[in-house]
Amino acid sequence: MSEYSLKSFVASRRQNDAEHDYFELETPQMLEINLNNQFVWTKNGSMVGYVGNIKFERESMLSGGLGNLLKKTLTGEGAKLMKAEGTGRVYVADNGKKVQILHLENESISVNGNDILAHDQTIQSKITMLKSVAGMMSGGLFQVKLSGTGHVAITTHGDPLVLMVKPDQPVFTDPNATVAWSGNLSPELKTSVSFKSLLGRGSGEEFQMKFSGEGWVLIQPYEEVYFQNQS
């Protein structure tokens, strides 16, 4: 059989029926979620296929209370989720970005809202806001804090890098390249330019997120811009 035949192509690309982990990477850019009469939260619009008896339901805008409603109304990031429930396999992806699977054990992480692909029903989510003008101008205003025990899938452009934060060694990052950080850290947004300059900014390099204390920060080799400022 030729290596370029249709049969060879299908055999090399078909899903792996031998693996049935709850969260499983079918390819570096595609997540398979195996459901057994349970549900998960997935990024709205991320479902690319499914097998079995699965139903999908948009997250209520009121879930999480009126505070979360206000934040979801204001943000253009991926804070809106879809509930996938039933028994079968769900395949999710996000614009060809690489998928990173994490398992939290009574832990918490903060994630850029646009970079959350899916999380277990046992994980609690809370939208948090960086209260500064720099945050609003950078498009890094909203993050989601994920807490508890269970699976989380996040996405990155390319291969990410973890930077360790030490008490005597703070880490500074570009907000648009910052994907996630350990839940114990509370970043500050810094800028060295005037407010007048902010209104006409062309890149994220005027802004930095400062992480102090002890923990880690995940960055990607790409500046992902969520809001385009109008001049």
Predicted local confidence at residue 67, as pLDDT: 44
| Number of domains the chain contains | 1
Question: Whole-angstrom Cα distance, residue 46 to residue 84?
Answer: 11
Question: Is 3 inside a domain boundary?
Answer: no
- Token pair belonging to 105: 């054990």
Find out whether 102 and 147 touch, Cβ atoms under 8 Å: no
Asked if the structure places residue 226 within a domain, the reply is: no
Q: How far apart are CA 140 and CA 113, in angstroms?
A: 9
Euclidean distance between CA atoms 80 and 45, whole angstroms: 9
Concatenate the DSSP letters of all residues of 8-21 into one string: HHHHHHS--TT---
Instruction: Assign 221 to helix, strand or coil.
Output: coil
pLDDT for 146: 95
- Dist CA 35 CA 188 (whole Å): 39
The better pLDDT of the pair 206, 167 is held by 167
CATH number at residue 21: 3.60.160.10
pLDDT band at 10 (very low <50, low <70, confident <90, very high): confident
* pLDDT of residue 118 exceeding 80: yes
Say what percent of the chain tops pLDDT 70.
72
Q: Classify residue 126: in a domain, yes or no.
A: yes
Q: Is residue 10 a part of any domain in this protein?
A: no
pLDDT digits (tens, 9 = 90+) for 50-66: 999 999 998 754 344 43
Question: Is residue 99 pLDDT above 70, yes or no?
Answer: yes
What pTM was estimated for this model as a whole?
0.80
Quick check: 149 and 207 in contact, CB under 8 A?
no
End-to-end CA distance of the chain: 59
Q: Alpha-carbon distance 57 to 36, whole Å?
A: 17
Whether residue 60 is contained in a domain is answered as: yes
204 falls within a domain: yes
Q: Which two tokens stand for residue 124?
A: 């609690």
Does some domain include residue 8?
A: no
Host domain of residue 57: 16-219
Q: Which two tokens stand for residue 81?
A: 């989720």
Tally of residues, the chain: 231
Q: Fill in the amino acid letter for 93.
A: A
152-205 per-position pLDDT tens digit: 999 999 999 999 999 999 999 998 899 999 999 988 887 765 555 555 544 445
CB neighbour class for 205 (10 Å; exposed up to 12, middle 13-18, buried from 19): exposed
Residue pLDDT, tens place only, 214-229: 999 999 999 887 544 3
Which pLDDT band, with edges at 50, 70 and 90, does 129 fall under?
confident
